[in-house]
Amino acid sequence: MISRRALLQSVAAASAALPSLSQSVFAEDAWPSREIHSICGFPPGTGADVFVRFYGKKLEDKLGKTIITENKVGAFGNIATEYVAKSKPDGYTLFIAPGSSFLAAAPSLFKKLAYDPVNDFEHVTTLSKLPFILVVSGDSPYKDAAELTKYLKEQGDKASYASVANTGIVSSELYKANFGLNTVEVKYKETGPMLNDLWGHNIAFAHLDPVGAMAHLKTGKLRALATSSKERFVSLPDIPSAAEAGITNSDIIAWWSVHMPKGTPKPIVDKLETLFNQIAVDDETKKFLGNLGSDPFPGNSQMLKDLLVKDTAAWHDYVKIAKIEPYS
């Protein structure tokens, strides 16, 4: 039988624990109590920046708290990704990013990373999916992929293409490998200078994210010759698939997703998962994505992590096929 003294000590200990328990519950219920910082790996004003800010505003409306977008540009997304990985896991740092490129592709494209794409993050959910688009200048003489390919074969290593994103690099190198092309890669840190060179016919082609390409496709400043996906994309019904264009080794689909620093409390991750999935399928979002050549892609935390692991392995194979030397 427990003694009266032991019983009183147990009661006292339990009572002492109540304030901290209450504070913990209160802290979770009170989130967010201040602004949330959304990290963007692209320059202000770009299509990808608009994408990040759109979802930030939608989340702001749901939470009733300010979402501040911070642009941390450079190193093909590594600067932004590393910043998030090393941020305090308090629920106030958010990463809306092209996860297929910034996370899944990174281990195959870089010799060293300052973060672990799978284990240094809480993976919230997927948002949208899209192929990359093989584009030339709108006034280019090449009306389809076959005409461009013929020209590039004739030019050998005298022709060049632009790279500004990981997915675009692999898509272009797979295209080259498929036809045995020797076209030279020209690296760009930002989309603006790359587009100027494309329009100036200093480079022959690029594979671009529809988020940044659609506005120029609509005005005729860019011409789309094919997507990077095996089948035609729902939101891009008029653009031939890679297979239709004869690029039989390509079936690359990029996806955007939401991530937070490892250790962010699960109730916060779960709440954001629910909110972002609501945002992903509302009418305004569907219209927004359709204008950007993207489809809604709602998911969940586990599905996103599984997809990340799967595509990390796929990117390893893509990089080998394309014979890409990892960056230092």
User: Do residues 124 and 180 share a domain?
Assistant: no
Residue 158 lies in a domain: yes
Give per-residue pLDDT as tens, 90-126: 999 999 999 998 999 999 989 999 999 999 999 999 9
SS3 250: coil
Residue 59: in which H helix or E strand, if any?
helix 47-63
- Tally of domains within the chain: 2
Cβ–Cβ under 8 Å, residues 39 and 94: yes
Residue 17 lies in a domain: no
The two three-digit tokens of residue 250, written as one number: 């390509």
Residue 93 lies in a domain: yes
Residue 152 lies in a domain: yes
Last residue of a domain, one of 210, 227, 244: 227
Provide the mean pLDDT of the chain. Answer: 90
User: Do residues 157 and 190 share a domain?
Assistant: yes
Alpha carbon distance 241, 14 (integer Å): 65
Give per-residue pLDDT as tens, 246-263: 999 999 998 999 999 999
CATH number of the domain to which 44 belongs: 3.40.190.150
Vertex 123 angle, CA 42 and 165, to 5°: 30
Print the domain residue range for 139. 133-227
User: Do residues 205 and 172 share a domain?
Assistant: yes
Cβ–Cβ under 8 Å, residues 175 and 250: yes
Last residue of a domain, one of 179, 210, 227: 227
The two three-digit tokens of residue 255, written as one number: 């996806």
Give per-residue pLDDT as tens, 32-64: 999 999 999 999 988 889 999 999 999 999 999
The two three-digit tokens of residue 305, written as one number: 């992590």
Average of pLDDT values for 200-229? 94
Cβ–Cβ under 8 Å, residues 191 and 224: no
User: Do residues 146 and 223 share a domain?
Assistant: yes
Residue 26 lies in a domain: no
Residue 242 lies in a domain: no
Residue 196 lies in a domain: yes
SS3 68: strand
| DSSP line for 116-127 | -TTTSEEEEEEE
Sign, Cα dihedral of 79, 84, 85, 87? positive
User: Do residues 139 and 126 share a domain?
Assistant: no
User: Do residues 193 and 51 share a domain?
Assistant: no
User: Do residues 220 and 77 share a domain?
Assistant: no
pLDDT band for 212, please (50, 70, 90 cuts). Answer: confident
User: Do residues 110 and 259 share a domain?
Assistant: yes
pLDDT band for 76, please (50, 70, 90 cuts). Answer: confident
Residue 15 lies in a domain: no
How much is the pLDDT for 170? Answer: 87
Phi-psi domain of 281 (left: phi exceeds 0; alpha: psi -120 through 50; beta: other): alpha
CATH number of the domain to which 185 belongs: 3.40.190.10
Alpha carbon distance 294, 128 (integer Å): 6
User: Do residues 124 and 113 share a domain?
Assistant: yes
pLDDT band for 210, please (50, 70, 90 cuts). Answer: confident
User: Do residues 205 and 166 share a domain?
Assistant: yes
User: Do residues 223 and 78 share a domain?
Assistant: no
Cβ–Cβ under 8 Å, residues 162 and 188: yes
Percent of the chain with pLDDT over 70: 91
Cβ–Cβ under 8 Å, residues 205 and 193: no
Cβ–Cβ under 8 Å, residues 273 and 226: no
The two three-digit tokens of residue 220, written as one number: 């005729």
User: Do residues 221 and 139 share a domain?
Assistant: yes
